[in-house]
A and B are shown apart, each in its own frame.
Chain A
Amino acid sequence: MNLFENLYKTLIYDNRYLFFLEGIKNTLIIAFFAGIIGVIIGIIIALIKNYHEKTNKLKILNFLASCYVNIIRGTPTILQLMIIYYVIFASVEINIVFVGILAFGINSGAYVSEIIRAGINSIDKGQIEAGSSLGLNYPQIMHYIIMPQAIKNILPALGNEFITLVKETSVGAYIGIIELTKASDIVASRTYEYFFPLIIAAIIYLIITFCLSKLISIMERKLNNANS
């Protein structure tokens, strides 16, 4: 068997490339929307915790936020995914990709919140004091003074988190989401040959994560130039 024969068998025959396309589509959709949900949750949780640290208010919300972060970080992603799919949505007819988005978004939010919190804490507290002394309130200080400075420190770690997220979506295969890893698995089960489907999947992951890290380093450079 030569290379072309194998590629033909893996991709072309019986339109098997369609599995890969479906897999890429679902991987990207889940990673993209889960990333957005993760950032939104992350910002909210980070601000609750930071506000609590600064003022000792929002005790209950802060407690809930801490529980959320600890539970998510302390349990396997795959378990969280299965709980959401098999327990929470057990009796509901629901799009499985949507379940993936939700589960990975909630999972990512916990990690993103810690990244953002660390970024906020990396800014000198004199900045908050200066903002307060000018009569600005907490949201204004965060929006105009702290976040624009913190984003530089947040971005590299956030980039890592997004790359992790793209790879983590492969866990979705366990509940039957046809993402990239599952797609390669399906093809392998048809060709009775694992090498090519898996290598192709690996190369596609590499391309996606490489583009992502390039994109992030471009953004980092832009930020550094903008306010050096």
Chain B
Amino acid sequence: MLIVKNLEKNFGKTKVLKNINLEINEKERVVIIGPSGCGKSTLLRCINQIEKPTKGKVLFEGIPLDDKKTDINKIRIKMGMVFQQFNLFPHLKVIDNIILAPVKLKLMSKEDAIKKGKMLLDKIGLAEKLNNYPKELSGGQQQRVAIIRALMLDPDLLLFDEPTSALDPEMKQEVLELMKNLGASGLTMIVVTHEMQFVKEFATRVIFIDEGKIVEEGKPNDLFNHPKSLRLKEFLNNIN
């Protein structure tokens, strides 16, 4: 579904990502872990081209994303993203936040979008917040609305950039639960997170990145219990 080939990203002279190769298949739940500043978020942002890679290729469902003929906006409809700071639109009510893209992109009529939005909000128990503004919601609620906003477009792949890092501990759980449910429903996801307990229960594959390189990858059980590289051992010791 997603292929990353020899990806490199420089910010000025700093090499943030060095020769990243990655292949992600349907229904995988891939979690990227690593120390702060190792390039995890940058990798995610390069995948959906919010950040332009310096070198290398990203192919989504066989389509090269950096190609001039590729309409990146069409690709992004199928590749949603959830941000650390939620990035809900503060001037729009919850319902208008989630129907904005499908309606303006003419993928759905306004009535259908509202119907679908209500249905999805109902599923996560936020139906009564429909007409509230984002700032009237708790952080956990805002992040769940942001996830619903991404789901409105029926993405094939959903990227999560540290979705719980800006949340109080008691609110993390509601977001992580929702992510687990999505995983169970078969959605393909790539997640950058520091919630190691969650990673163990959630991931089908874990990728450890350090200093812009993929150091180790594998099943969560193998990585957490039998780390091969010294760097991963150190990293796991430090967070425990």
Please indicate the chain A residues that have their CB under 8 angstroms from the CB of B133 in the complex.
227-228
Please indicate the chain A residues that have their CB under 8 angstroms from the CB of B153 in the complex.
134-135
- How many residues of chain B get a CB closer than 8 Å to chain A's CBs? 26
As a 0/1 sequence over residues 191 to 228 of chain A, the CB contacts with chain B under 8 angstroms (1 = contact) are: 00000000000000000000000000000000000011
Flag if B76 contacts A140 (CB, 8 Å). Answer: no
Rounded to whole angstroms, the CA-CA distance of A159 and B89 in the bound complex is 26
Flag if A132 contacts B101 (CB, 8 Å). Answer: no
Which stretch of A19-27, A110-118, A144-152 is in the interface?
A144-152
Please indicate the chain B residues that have their CB under 8 angstroms from the CB of A135 in the complex.
73-77, 101, 105, 153
Flag if B85 contacts A133 (CB, 8 Å). Answer: no
Please indicate the chain B residues that have their CB under 8 angstroms from the CB of A144 in the complex.
100, 104
Please indicate the chain B residues that have their CB under 8 angstroms from the CB of A90 in the complex.
none
With A126-B87, A127-B87, A149-B90: A133-B100 Cβ-Cβ less than 8 Å: no
- A133, A134, A148 pick with most chain B CB within 10 angstroms: A133
Interface majority SS (helix, strand, loop, mixed), chain A: helix
Closest-by-CB residue of A relative to B133 is A227
Please indicate the chain B residues that have their CB under 8 angstroms from the CB of A148 in the complex.
91
- Residue from B73, B100, B150 within 8 A of A137 (CB atoms): B73
Judged by a CB distance under 8 angstroms, whether B164 is at the interface is no
Rounded to whole angstroms, the CA-CA distance of A31 and B100 in the bound complex is 37
Query: Which A residues from 117 to 155 make CB contacts under 8 A with B?
Result: 124, 126-127, 129-130, 132-137, 140, 144-145, 148-149
Rounded to whole angstroms, the CA-CA distance of A129 and B48 in the bound complex is 10
- Residue from B48, B83, B105 within 8 A of A136 (CB atoms): B105
Judged by a CB distance under 8 angstroms, whether B205 is at the interface is no
Nearest CB of B to A126, in Å: 4
Flag if A134 contacts B89 (CB, 8 Å). Answer: no
Judged by a CB distance under 8 angstroms, whether B53 is at the interface is no
Flag if B76 contacts A133 (CB, 8 Å). Answer: yes
As a 0/1 sequence over residues 82 to 125 of chain B, the CB contacts with chain A under 8 angstroms (1 = contact) are: 01010111111000000011001100000000000000000000
Closest-by-CB residue of A relative to B96 is A144
- Residue from B75, B87, B149 within 8 A of A129 (CB atoms): B87
Judged by a CB distance under 8 angstroms, whether B137 is at the interface is no
Flag if A136 contacts B87 (CB, 8 Å). Answer: no
Please indicate the chain B residues that have their CB under 8 angstroms from the CB of A228 in the complex.
133
Q: A135-B77, A137-B73 are in contact. List 17 more A-B contacts (CB 8 A).
A: A124-B87, A126-B83, A129-B50, A129-B81, A129-B87, A130-B81, A133-B48, A133-B80, A133-B150, A134-B77, A134-B149, A135-B105, A140-B104, A144-B100, A148-B91, A227-B91, A228-B133
5 contacts between A and B (CB under 8 A): A129-B83, A130-B81, A133-B80, A134-B100, A137-B73
4 closest cross-chain pairs (CB), A and B: A130-B87, A134-B101, A135-B77, A133-B81
